[in-house]
Structure 1
Amino acid sequence: MTTNTSTRSIFGTANRLDFGASAPKAFRALIAFDAAARDGLDPALVELLQIRSSHLNHCAYCLHMHTNDARKAGESEDRLHMVAVWREARHFFSEREQAALALTDALTLVADAGVPDDVYAEAATLFDERELAQVIALICTINTWNRVALSTAKVAGTDER
């Protein structure tokens, strides 16, 4: 049997570019957008939403980073384990966290069904307009980071901050 060593699986480690070095202006802009999106949000909520989006996008690199960041910030192991199944484990999350997680699901998977009115309305009742805009911006940034990490084949557990 002959194996073609140039063929890699989607989870392979083919040589890929360093996004930050190759597109420094875009990288700095994304860092600035990320920082602006977090402004005024509860750090625990930020990590939960980043973890959830990373689950949905199958981004091991970001999932590893944000679960570690959440632990460092004092997040419990129980809650971290329940993020992937938050709908079935609602008692682990506040009403605001549940609304933000539902919005994260909808916006991350926006091509599937858009952002349903009921999901948006629930979030809008629990967050003021500024907070809701910040949550939406945060979800957009983590989805972008996930796509950068996946397209450049970032490896979980490397390049830790």
Structure 2
Amino acid sequence: MSLRLNYSKANPKAATAMMGLETYAGNAIKDKVLYELIKLRVSQINGCAFCLDMHAKDLLKLGDHGDRILLLSVWHEVPHLFTEQERVVLELSEAVTTISKGGVPKALYDKVRGHFSEAEYVDLIMAINTINCWNRIAISTGMYPGCFN
């Protein structure tokens, strides 16, 4: 794989807009571990190596999360590694990322709302959409781990 272009140099205004979205999402999700779990799970689904590498390292910086990183793709099968709140957010992250497959079912919405307010629900959607957008930028421009080193 080779880097096709540096998106931020090719279009600084677009990069600034994306950073605005990232800043909003990063400030809105107070639990930084939860935010990194969202980024990792969505990046797994989308197959974004650049983002997987970055956010796995970011999660490791937040503490001892090696097992959670290794088993995130099968989080359904390891309930002891993820809190109920994290599990609900991971389920929402999957539903929003693969929204054309079945939308966000009412039962899932209700589960999420059992843990989060309406405003927090919107913040979660914004965070999920932000990493989906980053994944699409990275994949479309040929970004890979270490491409900017």
Aligning the two structures, in what range does the TM-score lie when normalised by the shorter sequence? over 0.9
- Higher normalized contact order (CA 8 Å, seq sep 6+, divided by chain length): 2
Map 1:2-151 → 2, pairs under 5 A: 12-13=1-2, 16-41=4-29, 42-151=31-140
1:70 Cα offset (Å): 0.5
Which aligned segments of 4 or more residues in structure 1 are displaced greater than 2 angstroms? 157-160
Q: Structure 1 regions of 5+ residues with no counterpart?
A: 1-11
TM-score by length of 2: 0.93
Residue 157 (structure 1) aligned to one of 137, 146, 149: 146
How many residues align? The count is 148
Q: Structure 2 regions of 5+ residues with no counterpart?
A: none
Alpha carbons 1:47, 1:66 under 8 Å: kept: yes
Instruction: Please say which structure displays the higher CA radius of gyration.
Output: 1
- Determine the structure 2 residue equivalent to 1:6: none
1:25-73 superposed Cα distances (whole Å, 9 cap, x missing partner): 1111111111101224200000000000000000010000000000011
Structure 1 vs Structure 2: percent identity of aligned residues? 37
Alpha carbons 1:60, 1:155 under 8 Å: kept: yes
Richer in helix (by share) = 2
Alpha carbons 1:65, 1:157 under 8 Å: kept: no
1:157 Cα offset (Å): 3.0
Question: 2 CA distance for matches of 1:70 and 1:25?
Answer: 29
